Amino acid sequence: MMDGPRSDVGRWGGNPLQPPTTPSPEPEPEPDRRFRRGGGRSFWARCCGCCSCRNVADDDWGPEPSDSRGRGSSSGTRRPGSRGSDSRQPVSRGSGVNAAGDGTIREGMLVVTGVDLLSSRSDQNRQEHHTDEYEYDELIVRRGQPFRMLLLLSRTYESSDRITLELLIGNNPEVGKGTHVIIPVGKGGSGGWKAQVTKASGQTLNLRVHTSPNAIIGKFQFTVRTQSDAGEFQLPFDPRNEIYILFNPWCPEDIVYVDHEDWRQEYVLNESGRIYYGTEAQIGERTWNYGQFDHGVLDACLYILDRRGMPYGGRGDPVSVSRVISAMVNSLDDNGVLIGNWSGDYSRGTNPSAWVGSVEILLSYLRTGYSVPYGQCWVFAGVTTTVLRCLGLATRTVTNFNSAHDTDTSLTMDIYFDENMKPLEHLNHDSVWNFHVWNDCWMKRPDLPSGFDGWQVVDATPQETSSGIFCCGPCSVESIKNGLVYMKYDTPFIFAEVNSDKVYWQRQDDGSFKIVYVEEKAIGTLIVTKAIGSNMREDITYLYKHPEGSDAERKAVETAAAHGSKPNVYANRGSAEDVAMQVEAQDAVMGQDLMVSVMLTNHSSSRRTVKLHLYLSVTFYTGVTGTIFKETKKEVELAPGASDRVTMPVAYKEYRPHLVDQGSMLLNVSGHVKESGQVLAKQHTFRLRTPDLSLTLLGAAVVGQECEVQIVFKNPLPVTLTNVVFRLEGSGLQRPKILNVGDIGGNETVTLRQTFVPVRPGPRQLIASLDSPQLSQVHGVIQVDVAPAPGDRGFFSDTGGDSHLGETIPMASRGGA
């Protein structure tokens, strides 16, 4: 991956911490690219080699922005009332046309008077295809799996009659590209497409339609042609007969097939999940509402592909689709979904920590065509999980603690110090993020040698460019584990994130730099995701790397580094070490004093004298640090086998003026052993915990009936929180809702109550967040078990689906500390 622009304060190493310039939340939509010819490589030539061999005469592109806001037309807003009732979709009727196109219906012609796609959520089609949770009335099926439909005819079907089903997608459908599918009823189709008559009763024909396991995904128009002795007939296109086709992890012939039902339930059908953040020693977790089945989300996902102009012919390939999504979820290059902002100033948008799910973000992008402000890594990953699950790919959100950002392709994290081992921040362009969140999605890789199927990394956070585009992956986890950095896509960058070494360089008297310490277990120390079927945390580090220190792990690291820009970095290693150092920080709460300490242990049989330096600064979670606001120097004498602890107390008033996002701090510790010349070096990051929101359900939850929830929060700071905003969201419970509650006094407790109307039964998650300029990263969640409506009436009712934005809510009660 090549370097891209690095201007965001708080995002890239080497930038000073200073008042930022806030990224604009409304970038200008880019020019229409449908008719671009020559003059530089297209997105597809740069991003996806398999989609770049496109004939200049092809017009098989998705709709580009059609108005000043860049909204596409193919998968835009759906008709009013299409979401709500569980009644069967009305049978479509219309005046057909004959082969001459003059609308004349002659006696004896086989006229299709109506079509019933059996698309109700309670029908067999939606149930068998695991699409019954989508809040849509159209037929949604998964490829490679049959579905049923009914044709209503003007007369009895005869053996001499010929019926052909047709599916079309895109602006210029072509049979050769798979964008115009012709399915003769009763005859073998091509590429896995076929249709059979299962029952003919009077003027009703029951059909069983088989779709190809390699079909293009998207929204197809549907029509029927008939041919009889009296002439030909074509059913007019009807938007009520449009059919969505998705990837199918239940189909063994689909390359996204997953051979574990519990995996499919978790990674395809689960509408909420846990995202982990913080540090390895202080892991925080938050619930995220993926909401992939919410009304409008599927259209938003298809609009993303349209907005980029992805050729429809390439939309059956999950490798290409996932790579495009990784590019389009961020706004760089393509005015995609989310604007990244690591500056700490979110006054022109939403603090990334305030989001509780993907639905509000995706629907805003679909509605306006503008990129949504703002996102950071967990937001990019949460939205990516939503999009890929919605399209049918098994996907999970993954957190890597101590995630390296290698900017010079050395495949090592290089940290530079002066002669006294004080960090030289202007040289430290590589950074180690406290955590970084990306995605794994499951698929076969026919574009790679055998052995690289399974989990693939996709990362939508814009870090470095790949073939000139801010996208990353899909990259086989197996290639990462074994250091095979020549495998596509973007393996060198991802390998460095999880398995590189931290190399400490000290400036010498002549100005040159010398390696004084290599920390081998500092990067990718823990990689986790939500466990299947529970809210527990699962350690998946073993999938990404061999055990730390093992021969296989060392071979992978050194093999990868040999392909980097500093292939000889391991040639000169330091001397033996006999003084060990361990850094500790107490579990501190935002607003309280804290204590950090360093434990030194002498493992030698001789006395050791250690000169120790401690430097404390605030840091963004991306590893970018502010100025040092406290430091301590001490000389420690250690008897043989003895230990001693050096402590540094830090008062709230000392760190408060320097705090940045997420309350993280970085302790740089360096030391020198006088007798042996051993150099000690360690960077330790810790965070200040924020309080949780307490949610309580007040009464039973039933579909279609109003329910109330109580939210309680206590301000942990002795200062007033201003312009406090709550967010509330939960799939099947509450569309995204924003509550403006004003100010909350220092150490004050507040309570507010909100009503919602559940629209779908079953176990649901209601998620809330609080954000203010003084305090963020405050969340809460409650499980809501929703009972079906009496007689199942009101199932998926529209009552609870309204989104309330910017509502001002008075607090129910306030209390002191």
Binding annotation for Ca(2+):
499, 501, 548, 553
Q: Give the C-alpha separation, 271 to 705, whole Å.
A: 22
Helical ranges in 608-761 per DSSP H: 652-655
26 beta partners: none
**Pick from 105, 98, 115, 62: nearest CA to 223:** 115
Strands annotated E in 587-733: 594-602, 608-619, 625-638, 643-650, 664-673, 679-687, 694-698, 701-702, 707-714, 721-730
Q: Are 346 and 338 in contact (CB under 8 A)?
A: no
Beta bridge partner(s), residue 730: 734
User: How far apart (Å, rounded) are the C-alpha atoms in residues 359 and 735?
Assistant: 8
Numbered residues of the known binding site: 499, 501, 548, 553
Quote the distance between the C-alpha of residue 496 and its chain's center.
20
Residue with tokens 């995605």: 439
* Catalytic-residue membership of 377: yes
Alpha-helix runs per DSSP H in 482-603: 491-499, 541-544, 551-562
Which one of 436, 613, 672, 684 is the catalytic residue? 436
Residue found under tokens 């998207």:
218
Residue partners of 619: CB distance under 8 A and separation at least 6: 434, 625, 626, 660, 664, 665, 666, 685
Written as six digits, the tokens of 155 are 């007369």
Strands 694-698 and 707-714: antiparallel
**Joined tokens for residue 776:** 């963020």
Active site residue 436: yes
Q: Which residues are paired to 668 by β-bridges?
A: 615, 683
Catalytic site residue from 459, 490, 661, 771: 459
Asked if 174 and 57 touch (Cβ cutoff 8 Å), the reply is: no
With CA atoms as reference, report the closest residue to 583 among 494, 509, 684, 495.
684
Omega before 474 within 30 of 0, i.e. cis: yes
**What region, left, alpha or beta, does residue 497 occupy, with left being phi > 0 and alpha being psi -120 to 50 degrees?**
alpha
Handedness of CA 616, 617, 623, 624 (dihedral sign): negative
Q: Which helix (H) or strand (E) holds 767?
A: strand 762-771
The yes-or-no answer on residue 459 being catalytic is yes
In terms of Cβ atoms closer than 10 Å to its own Cβ (0-12, 13-18, 19+), residue 524 is buried
- Token code pair at residue 620: 């963004």
* Selected catalytic residue, list 377, 441, 471, 707: 377
At how many degrees (to 10) do helices 551-562 and 491-499 cross? Answer: 140
For residue 31, give the amino acid letter: P
Q: What are phi and psi of 303, to 5 degrees?
A: -60, -35
Q: Residue with structure tokens 């823990």?
A: 526
Distance CA 416, CA 426 (A): 9
Nearest-CA neighbor of 578 among 609, 549, 548? 609
Helices marked H in 114-208:
124-128
- Alpha carbon of residue 565 to chain centroid: 31
Preceding amide of 489 cis, omega within 30: yes
Please measure the distance between the N-terminal and C-terminal CA atoms of the chain and give it in whole angstroms.
Answer: 51
If you write DSSP's letter for every residue of 532-551 in order, what string do you get?
TTSS-EEE-HHHHSPPTTSH
Q: What span, in angstroms and rounded, lies between the C-alpha atoms of 674 and 679?
A: 9
Active site positions, annotated: 377, 436, 459
